[in-house]
Amino acid sequence: MAFKVFSKITTAFFVSILLGLIYQMLEMKSGISFSGGVFFVIIIAFIGTSIYGIPVSFLSDFITHRIKFNRFIIAAFIHVLFGFILLFYDLDIGGYALICSWLFFLLDELQNSLRKNRGFKKPGKKFAFDMAGACGIFVLALFGFSLIVHLTEQTSRETFLIPEGYKGGFRIIYNIKDAPAPKKDGEYHVYQINERGYVLSPLPVSEGTIENRYYYVDNSGHKERIKDVCISGGGTGEDSVYGYDITITSSNYRIMPEPCDDDSYSEIDLGATLDEIVWREGLDKRVKK
């Protein structure tokens, strides 16, 4: 029994290393040469796999130890199933858990095979059939994961109409009583930014993937799309305002002049401050609790 526990802890360790390598490759694909977060991923993966994955593996061994027909496929199903279950707790954790469950299953089976055969053995047709079935289960689980992400993903779709020629910072302030409701353009809420660089919204803050649109609008109502590269997002957050017992939720953006590079950023005016907007609009009495 002690040897089995040690074997599965070893498997958990190698799973954590592999997951860390996968994480690092994804970071490199995003243009980051090295991320210190890889060590955090390895540590968390090892803890999670030890606490959750090892008991699942023992459960799989208990269920399948007397099964001779399709034991490999059934064991794969059990591991992947328990990884998939975590998707309903948290999609981010569940995605990593699904990968970890698959890696744990493969490495654990590899160790068992090496121990049983005292080394590598040329795989036969049965192994190819079993592996195809196990891979099919994992692919179906990945498809299910993608479907759940698609169905539950939140998206921020807001259109901002900005006075022609405006350069600098602008913001949208949410949860404001009596603020005009934005117009709808399909799935988009449409906001008109004023000359001072802000707009008030009665709606709660939008969350999820940002798919916003930004337009310059002249006096005749003609719209011209602003290049996405010229828009810099300052982030969304909650801010307390000095002298007022309120918390303001807002999203900040910046429009940079051509050529819209880092040098352009230093040339822009950040627009009206939050303190100024609160005073001008009387937001201390209009913020929704």
pLDDT digits (tens, 9 = 90+) for 14-67: 899 998 888 888 777 766 666 677 888 889 889 988 998 899 989 998 998 888
pLDDT at residue 265 is higher than 60: no
Model confidence at 125: pLDDT above 90 = no
Q: Which pLDDT band holds residue 264 (cuts at 50, 70, 90)?
A: low
The average pLDDT across 60-78 equals 87
- Domains of the chain, residue spans: 2-152, 155-285
Quote the pLDDT of residue 30: 62
Q: Which residues contact 151 (CB under 8 A, 6 or more apart)?
A: none
Query: Helix 54-64 and helix 71-85: axis angle, to 10°?
Result: 150
Q: How confident is the model at residue 202 (pLDDT cuts 50, 70, 90)?
A: very high
For 22, what's the count of Cα atoms within 13 Å in the CB-facing half-sphere? 14
214 has a pLDDT exceeding 90: yes
- The first and second tokens of residue 58, run together, are 């023992």
Which position has the higher pLDDT, 243 or 181? 181
Give the model's confidence band at 216: pLDDT under 50 very low, under 70 low, under 90 confident, else very high: very high
- Average pLDDT (127-150) is 87
Region of residue 226 (phi > 0: left; psi between -120 and 50: alpha; otherwise: beta): beta
Please state the pTM of the whole predicted model: 0.58
pLDDT at 206 over 60: yes
Which is nearest to 159 in space by CA: 181, 184, 180, 188?
A: 188
In sequence order, what are the beta bridge partners of 240? 247
Which of 141-145, 149-153, 284-288 shows the highest mean pLDDT? 141-145
Q: Is the pLDDT of residue 103 over 70?
A: yes
